[in-house]
A and B are shown apart, each in its own frame.
Chain A
Amino acid sequence: MRIRGYRRPDGKFGIRNHVLILPCSVCAAETARLAAEGQKGVIYLPNQGGCSLSRKDLEVTLETLSGIAANPNIYGTVLLGNGCEVVQARLLAERIREKTNKPLFSFVIRQEGGSLKTAERVRAEAARLRREADQVPVETAGCEELVVGTECGGSDPTSGLAANPVVGSCADLLIAQGATVILSETPEMIGAEKILAARCASEEIKTRLLTMIREYEEDFIRVSENPRSGNPTPGNLEGGITTLEEKSLGCIHKAGSTPVNGVAGYGEALPARGLVVMDTPGQDIASMMGMAAAGAQLILFTTGHGTPTGSAVAPVIKITANPETARLMAEHTDFDCSSVLTGGEEIGRAGRRLLEQIEKTACGELTRAEKLGFGEVSLARYCNFA
């Protein structure tokens, strides 16, 4: 498989060519919106955080936002802060510089004399970057340049039965061609940790994976939730899921069958190629941001119920095996594999079809969410009491 896109000065390869306006905090978000308004090819991240952060959350936020700026789908970034937030523009700029040498500019609202003046300058800088970005020649590259995130949301029995196995079979094909695939959503791994652990490439990776899942479970218990006692839920049982292993297996099946080569914290740079597990929350948007921050240029999103979800940074291919959803949510469905359930299509065959869809998207074909201009943003957060 060949992909088409843009070579970045840091050596990475993007399949989109966005200019990013990145507010450091919620207090700079509206100014960023003003600056981005009406500019084609310029995206802005409606950051809802960036201040009143615990030390751990500051670290997670810096890591994620800098990772987003470093994502290969981004040509260059204009940062802006209010000036008093915990995520200081200078601090974030330093973190971005550690990850990439792509174009980067930074503004502080108070120093510029308010939002209108700042928005004007940010707008002008973004427009200049946009003109530069348009000069970048389109090149082709191999599958090994691709980092693909996997996600599921609005799941129903068809997700674990067909959509996730189809993505898993496609993940195997991608990895065989040198791509990296990320399995996300730690809460979905509870109950299937032994199966995942048995697939780890080394003892060290195995220990890290089991620790990650255990800590997530302990966090659940700390807030009086027990992920094991209520699972499978009555709805799951009615839908044919008998055991927790079976439920979690349905989810982790998105990762295919290759060894787990590494484990990454939320939004962290990936430690290995091939299949990597990332510690992300169950909330789809925050989970996808974590993977985009780790460099995913594309996300495979399985859904039973159907969802409008997109991502500002990485195109999201939405996949369903529910024939009703494919019909009712046609404007949100990029890939329909309901034929696995209704027409006897083999899972492997649907996986190969999905690979063809990925190739198209990775060569510039817009996803449904991109056509709608949807770019949801959410950052994971541990503590809300700082």
Chain B
Amino acid sequence: MSADKEKMTVPGMRKKRTAGVLLHPADQVLTLTEAVHKGDTVFYPAAEGEEEVAAREDIPKYHKIARRPIACGQDVFKYGEVIGRAVKPVYPGEWVHVHNLKSVSATEREKDEDKRV
């Protein structure tokens, strides 16, 4: 039960440290290996040693957290590839999911279909 206590965000209480996975140096997002609560610190091994970001909200296990600011309309990278486009500005520590990230493959494909003879 001590793990649960640690997750609570009572002022003054030591914040939990959780591991995140950075899949590619170009990625602005990490994937969480555990659920985090607002205020928790997410650390991850990067090229220049360990880095960290503070969670700005509660985020479920295996979901994405931003480690860099992302402008609205900017491509979002994971695996070093574009997984979609931000539809809102995203700040480091925010949850990245369907509310601020949209697929581009569907719209791009429609354009392709138009080009095909």
Contact of A195 among B81, B84, B96 (CB under 8 A): B81
Asked if B21 contacts A341 (CB within 8 A), the reply is yes
Interface residues of A, dominant DSSP: helix
Number of interface residues of A (CB under 8 A): 29
Q: Name the interface residues of A117-162: CB closer than 8 Å to any CB of B.
A: 157-158, 161-162
Find B83's partner among A158, A237, A249 (CB 8 Å cutoff): A249
| A240–B97 touching, CB < 8 Å | yes
Instruction: Judge if B54 is at the interface, Cβ distance under 8 Å.
Output: no
Q: Nearest chain-A residue to B98 (Cβ)?
A: A242
Closest chain A CB from B19 CB (angstroms): 6
Please, how many angstroms separate the alpha-carbon atoms of A195 and B104 in the complex? 12
Q: A161-B31, A237-B98, A243-B84 are in contact. List 10 more A-B contacts (CB 8 A).
A: A161-B21, A237-B97, A242-B64, A242-B96, A243-B103, A244-B105, A246-B83, A249-B81, A341-B19, A342-B19
Which residues of B are found within 8 Å of A240, using beta-carbon distances? 31-32, 60-64, 97
B117 shortest CB reach to chain A, Å:
14
CA distance A346 to B19 in the complex (A): 12
Cα separation A344 to B32 with both chains bound (whole Å)? 12
B23 at the interface (CB under 8 A from A): yes
Q: Tell whether A239 is near chain B: CB-to-CB under 8 Å.
A: yes
Pair A249/B101 contact, Cβ less than 8 Å: no
Closest Cβ of chain B to A218, distance in Å, is 12
Chain B residues positioned under 8 Å from A347 (CB to CB): 23
Contact in complex: B105, A242 (CB < 8 Å): no
Query: Which residues of A (182-209) have their CB < 8 Å from a CB of B?
Result: 191-192, 194-195
Contacts known (A157-B62, A240-B64, A242-B98); A249 close to B33, Cβ less than 8 A: no
Cβ contacts A to B, 22 pairs, < 8 Å: A161-B21, A161-B31, A162-B21, A191-B103, A191-B105, A192-B81, A192-B105, A194-B105, A194-B108, A195-B82, A228-B106, A240-B32, A240-B60, A240-B64, A242-B83, A243-B103, A243-B104, A244-B103, A245-B104, A245-B105, A246-B84, A341-B21
A245→B82 contact, CB < 8 A: yes
Neighbouring A residues of B32 by C-beta, 8 Å: 240
Q: Which residue of A lies closest to B108 (CB)?
A: A194
| Most A-side CB within 10 Å, residue of B19, B45, B61, B103 | B103
Contact call A243/B101, Cβ cutoff below 8 A: yes
Report yes or no: B23 in contact with A242, Cβ–Cβ below 8 A: no
> In chain A, residues 252-305, which have Cβ atoms closer than 8 Å to a Cβ of chain B?
253, 257
With the chains together, A191 CA to B64 CA distance in Å?
19
From B82, which residue of chain A is reached at the shortest CB distance? A245
Q: Is residue A21 within 8 Å, beta carbon to beta carbon, of the partner chain? A: no
Q: A165-B23, A244-B103, A245-B81 are in contact. Are A344 and B64 (CB under 8 A)?
A: no
Residue of A nearest to B21 (CB): A161
Bound form: Cα–Cα A257–B80 in Å = 10
Give A345's nearest chain B residue, CB to CB: B45
Interface residue A340 (Cβ < 8 Å from any Cβ of B) = yes
Give A257 to B101 CA distance when docked, in angstroms: 25
Task: Answer yes or no: B38 CB below 8 A from chain A CBs.
Answer: no
A368 to B97, CA, bound (A): 38
Q: How far is A303 from B79 in the complex, measured between Cα atoms in Å?
A: 19
Interface string of A339-370 (1 = CB under 8 A from B): 01110101100000000000000000000000
Could you tell me which residues of chain B, from 45 to 102, have a CB within 8 Å of some CB in chain A? 45, 60-64, 78-84, 96-98, 101-102
In the complex, the 8 A-B pairs of residues with the closest C-beta atoms, listed nearest first? A243-B103, A240-B62, A157-B62, A246-B83, A240-B63, A243-B84, A341-B33, A245-B83
Q: Tell me if B45 and A346 are in contact (CB < 8 A).
A: yes
CA distance A162 to B22 in the complex (A): 10
B96 contacts across to A, CB distance below 8 A: 242
On chain B, the residues within 8 Å of A340 by CB distance are 21
